[in-house]
Amino acid sequence: MKIGAALGFNLIDYPGKIAAVAFAPGCNYTCPHCHAKPILGTAAPINEDDFLKYLITVKDWVNGVVICGGEPTLQPGLVPFIKKLRAECFSVKLDTNGSNPQVLAQLLSDKLVDYVAMDIKGPKFLWPSLSGNAGAETAMMESIATVARFPDYEYRTTVAPVVRGDEDISFLTVPEMVSAARLIAKVTGRADHKYYVQKFVPRKNGLLDPRLEVFPETPPQLLQDIHEEVLNYLPNCQLRG
């Protein structure tokens, strides 16, 4: 598998685990607020075997591996790579945009992934604008249903600025976030999911759409208002900094 960047380990990316992180290069989405611009190319500066050797040397205290990106499910070598991790008894968390439900279904069927984090870009009618992919709807809907069948999982949405027109850019609104939450409950037939609402943080020279670099972080009051309303549809919703 191609690995565009890696982190040795941290306590943040995999709940309850000390986890190393592998970033897969390349993505089929062009989300304007994406922070992963540096690794969206096709270069693979980190050798897979070297990364695996590193993991073996730290497995006494590192007990998980997060595979994120970019979009990892685009990688033909993803499944063999995860099988190697499983052979060394690492727990695996996958971060995905939900664009490849067939890959998710395979990972579920083969019991290769312990935890999946899926990005819900916002309400369905804004997915084309938020993802840069006009054909995302069918795959996203199927993936929302599949993710809820993994041993552990979460959905998450970044309350980001939305490019609504050439001169019209504004944050996701409370009604729009409620629409996203209601969709999750409707597609899965349940409301007991972990759903994280995250703030947008601008990054100079690091976002796909440079117009968003001048935006502030998501206003705290907006996050609180969203959280209060979304709880009516997904009672386990939490704010994440």
20-65 pLDDT tens trace: 999 999 899 999 999 876 666 655 588 999 999 999 999 999 999 9
Q: What is the mean pLDDT of residues 65-89?
A: 96
Q: Tokens 């670099």 correspond to what residue?
A: 213
Instruction: Decide if pLDDT at 1 tops 60.
Output: yes
Topology at the third CATH level for domain 5-240: TIM Barrel (3.20.20)
The per-residue pLDDT for range 201-222, each reduced to its tens digit, is 998 877 889 899 889 999 999 9
pLDDT score recorded for residue 47: 92
Cα–Cα distance between 135 and 100 in angstroms, integer? Answer: 12
Name the 3-class secondary structure at 107.
helix
Burial 192-220 (b: 16+ CB within 10 A, else e): ebebbbbbbebeeeebbbeebeebeebee
Q: What is the pLDDT of residue 42?
A: 55
pLDDT tens digits for range 126-184: 999 999 988 889 999 999 999 999 999 999 999 999 999 877 999 999 999 999 999 99
Q: Using one digit for the tens of pLDDT, what is the confidence trace for 82-118?
A: 999 999 999 999 999 999 999 999 999 999 999 999 9
Q: What's the alpha-carbon Rg for the chain, to the nearest Å?
A: 18
* Helix (H/G/I), strand (E/B), else coil: 54: helix
Give pLDDT, residue 41: 64
> Could you give the count of Cα atoms lying within 13 Å of 147 in the half-sphere of its Cβ?
31
Q: Which residue has the tokens 């709807």?
A: 137
The answer to whether the beta carbons of residues 234 and 185 sit under 8 Å apart is yes
Per-domain residue ranges for the chain? 5-240
